[in-house]
Chains A and B, each alone.
Chain A
Amino acid sequence: MASAVVAQDLFKVYPGSHSRTPALDGLSLTVPTGGVYGLIGRNGAGKTTFVRIAATQLALTSGSLSVLGHDVAREERKIRERIACVPQESRPLYFLTVEEVVYYYLKMRGLPSVEARRRTREGLEELSLGEYRRRLVSQLSGGLRRRAMCAMVLASDAEMLFLDEPTTGLDPIARREVWAAIRRASREQRTILLTTHYLDEAEALSQRLVLIERGRRILEGTPGELRGRVRYPYRVALQEGVAPEELEPYGRVATVEGGQTLVFAREREARELARWALERNLRVSMGPVSLEDIFLDVVGRSIDEDTPAEDAEPGHDEAKA
């Protein structure tokens, strides 16, 4: 199946911007059709800029970008027929009820009343908003407003959804309900472009991920591939204080709060270290690195070296889409 998004060498400089670095600086990536594609990166990395350009809300400075097989500059109408978006920091109109937020959005997209009503009912139930159906948006908490926005686009018939930090401010249970709805959409072969700062969420939902830093791609692949591309794919946590010098031969040592020591290591060294700790009756746990570890490691190094990690590590081949 053709790719949902093909981006090549994207540059974006905001007009009138005084910053010398572009918001997107030669970004290339391919989003496969169907499933969730996660965009992660620090504040100001360029995630929203990319999402807004792909959702045809913002013009590109240079580069080529096709969405659902159409060029964003020349065929935006054809793209818009098939997409829906929850922008970062968007809020529903305060004088509507939760039900009206979803229903009138669907009507605006041209759905007939009967279908819009059915989709509204199902969409609200899916995100446990049924009991707030008749509640005015102005009387809702921040998280409930955000959920109403998610319900709105998830209930639509769009083939591709752009969700820019859709779960910011949601409680853990509500967040998982949104995940379930996103997974359902992805099973229906819809494509979801998701940005989030919750790395557990990115990992739980995304089939593929891209890590962006300063408008450039620094890692891309499935969560498993990302692990394979870091120097130390395992983390060993030791509860009791052990002198860092003793641990250094095993890998990279990081002390975290609460007296816990983390060691990032290759598989063999990780096993050796765990055995060593067990022999000394130390409390120890071992597992693959989390996405957050990768993020801290790769982005941290990229900031230190002021060069993207991908360029700095020629030994690692780019994972193929």
Chain B
Amino acid sequence: MSGRHRLRALGALVVLNGLIPIRTQPFYVVYLLASPLSFLFFISVLSSGAFVPFGVTGGLILTMLSAGTGLQSDMTHYRQDLKFQDIVVASPVEAPTYVTGMALSELVYSTPGLGVFAVIFVVTGLANLQSIAVLVGVLLLVWAFASALAFTLATYLRDVRETFMFSPLISLGLSVLPPVYYPIDRLPHWAQTAALFSPTTYAAQLVQGSVGLYSLSFGHALLDWGALIAITAALFLVAAFKARWKEP
């Protein structure tokens, strides 16, 4: 496919999987808001408001992660139940174009969540040039690694039912156990070490650092960026070499 053809394919996938479903089911627009808003609610109540900024930065990251969860179940459903992946494989559309198009379409559903949290982010006084730049960069990386991971998993799962089992496990591993919603020093020592394996730990530290919730030295921030980029790259490599575009 030439560049222009790829753009058409991307556009078609975004409309197909992102915009058109809303016509028949408007609730798609708000479902991704549910979890991050309930976390924010719990955290605000339990900390008497003290941890609201953590709930906001965590909510932004979780909203992006949820785009990956949505991608994983959509792709599994399309592959297994509709044979849509087979249709796409036997066409000029290459795997990276398909995944990118589908991942972009999931962003449509993240937009309301990102919007709501962005407003709270500004209202609670967390926004400045630096924190916005860090936030945008971090969220793009979270979207990228979550999508690569989702694609790889979706090509292995045998049934959509399996996504119901995997998605909560992945959310647990990526958003609840790692310090996305609280400062890392709240965790016992062993858990801090374990958290280093999760890319969301670095994502959260960078965002928390940029809004002053966490004191982050320049060197530490560089390390965090390096780790986040390295894990994203590793998940891209896994997707490129291990995802089953063609079935074995």
Within A45-104, the residues touching B (CB, 8 Å) are 52, 55-59, 76-77, 80-81, 83-93, 95-96, 100, 104
A2 interface contact, C-beta 8 A: no
Q: List, in ascending order, chain A residues with CB within 8 A of B92's CB.
A: 80-81, 109-110
A77–B94 CB distance below 8 A: yes
- Let me know if A29 is at the binding interface, CB within 8 A: no
Cβ A109 vs Cβ B9 within 8 A? yes
A95 CA to B16 CA, complexed, in Å: 9
The answer, yes or no, to whether B81 is at the interface (CB within 8 Å) is yes
Chain B 185-196, CB-CB to A under 8 Å as 1, else 0, gives 000000000000
Task: Decide: A110 and B247 in contact? CB cutoff 8 A.
Answer: no
Task: Given A77-B94, A83-B90, A89-B83, check contact A111 B16 (CB 8 Å).
Answer: no
Count of chain B residues near A, Cβ 8 A: 35
Choose one: B83, B89, B93; the contact of A56 (CB below 8 Å): B89
Chain B residues, Cβ within 8 Å of A104: 12, 15-16
* Interface presence of B161 (CB below 8 A): no
In the bound complex, CA of A107 to CA of B246 (Å): 22
The interface residues of chain B lying within 8 Å CB-to-CB of A112 are 8
A136 contacts B by Cβ under 8 Å: yes
CA distance A258 to B81 in the complex (A): 41
- Interface residue from B82, B88, B90, B91 paired with A92 (Cβ < 8 Å): B82
Contacts of A58 in B (CB 8 A): 246-247
Give CA–CA (A86, B16) in the complex, Å: 19
A100 B86 Cβ-Cβ under 8 A: no
Once the chains bind, are A95 and B91 in contact (CB under 8 Å)?
no
Minimal Cβ-Cβ distance residue in B for A152: B87
Does A110 contact B25, Cβ atoms closer than 8 Å?
Answer: no
> When each residue 1-27 of chain B gets 1 if its CB lies under 8 Å from chain A and 0 otherwise, what string results?
110111011011101110011011100
A57 and B246 contacting across the interface, CB-CB below 8 Å: yes
**Inside 8 A of A15's CB, which chain B residues have their CB?**
248
In the complex, residue of chain A having the shortest beta-carbon distance to the beta carbon of B15: A104
List residues of chain B with CB within 8 A of the CB of A76.
246
B58-85 contacts to A (CB < 8 Å): 78, 81-84
- Is B91 within 8 A of A80, CB to CB? yes
Residues in B neighbouring A96, C-beta threshold 8 A:
16, 20
A46–B75 Cα gap in the complex (Å)? 27
B5 / chain A contacts, CB cutoff of 8 Å: 109-110
Q: Is A37 an interface residue (CB 8 A)?
A: no
The answer to whether A87 touches B15 (Cβ under 8 A) is no
Beyond the given pairs A83-B90, A83-B91, 4 more chain A to chain B contacts, judged by CB atoms under 8 angstroms and listed by A's residue number, are A80-B92, A108-B12, A109-B91, A158-B91
